[in-house]
Chain A
């Protein structure tokens, strides 16, 4: 049902030429994925970046902050795509890492420190440990059981947060102070300013996208795709697929945690629902809407779904109903998402006009 769409492969510069590229070229190549052939995808990535760059000048403060939120959920959607599009694992519990990061970050700002970097280290460590343990258990299970274990783990965390008075119980934690982030000595990022906040998060998201793309275009990514294609065959080539899946899982957990790390600074509160099924499934719907296996699609999907939800939410409280309908429509009619649709449209146009 959730067959990831795989972009056809394009000629790739040989290892020789790759080594000669300078840093700027390499950044450009990262933004323009070499294996996701199509110029469509490159232009889409470029168009999305331009649109994102000018958006705060058009949108106004409410929509700017909504866009930031969509970027944070975009990281979670990207993490779903790493697992589903590359390793072939459907996780219904990426909210576990979003929520974990959000709670750790909120608690530390409230009680421990105002240093963003200390919080970052704590979150990365905690998520690494948690994902190592949960991943080691869940990856041994096959198919739907992997989805159920990840889903169950997120629900358990949600219930713990819900029932623990010390971390706010069902009310969550409110009044989280917004720290000043010292980027370099003398250079601080003032998150009170919407524009600064927006571009900082956009920059982080672009860096994550480039990093993920580079890693998954390497031999590691090829092994993951081989596992998704035919997991029985991979051991006969000398790979222990367990370790590759586990690494991918930990990587995805870190990406999902980025959203949670920043979320409390945007909204000033955290609550048990951040661990919830809604966040996890929304991430799956977002990557499905954009196009699984493209990495760029989930980012587009997260913006579309977040803004759609906000628009629907002003008419009715039943925005989950809309989310569900979107999900069904895409699974049935557009399983390769909007990017897949765009690719097919341009392919058919290419045939019509030779």
Chain B
């Protein structure tokens, strides 16, 4: 009887082992990189799911397909998910990414890269020259020091302070020249808006804990305050310096005095006029423009600096080429086609977002003459800073967000020790990944 049980157990173990081997063998074979880069044929691409980008994507794909019947491009929206980054990460693991994703967040690039999901565009013969000629000096923020470009900088939404002129008037503030340049001015204006403007908060950045939320409260102001500094530079966290703490103290005061809210607003607080300001990019003009009499101002700094010297966060999205792509030759040609001067112009016209190319105002002067309200964003787009390209980028941002939530939004800790502790952890993460 014991013998029978033993045989049965062995049989079960053998079946399970065989199953595990089969599962492991499903990893697939690896195609030669250079061969894939030369290969042409049909490809798939994903673009963002907002109506403007869908419209642009369809037009560009249709135009390409008419000219290249043998290299047909199939475009679709990024499948629904909590964030695009999660969807792309899942697709990398499953090996079913499309050739190109026109919505790759720079902060996720190191993670995708570590997973072996991204093609180094610098390996294409004209890869580096094309990227750097199109984006100018800003391109350097999107590559690795070794000269790799695992993303193509595509479009930016430089973050500025968007405000509701009617609510400013109601609060007794000058809507044409709003006093928002310094922290003191911003706090005073915010107090007036809450006291007299009838809003629940002067500004309502999301107070939730997702790693990316700091890009729309702390980080633009940190960049402005430091005159184009990044969260991490040369492997060392920078946010626990005097400038970083000044920005954090400003926001802490906003929360402490009820000028910003600790609660998540279920909806769009700016659209619902529950807040009078928002940190947004040019996409906001199309979204709010018809219903709200709006104005725009650079992000404030402690003592105020000239708008033409103010830097901000780019809120940039790149184009990523993914390693599961079999026809990378076609993908590279389509990428260049979609980011040509003509198609960048079409993108600007349809979406109002700023292509990551030099001299946007000069190149598309006709557009800005017709749409002067976008010019301020175009000027700001020349002075943008990206998230640092470091390994463990998302983990780093989450670590920072946790410290920011604890010390600024919920005031459970003091800012300096919380930031010092987060900086130490982040320095360790960066060192580990380098």
Q: Are A and B part of the same complex? A: no
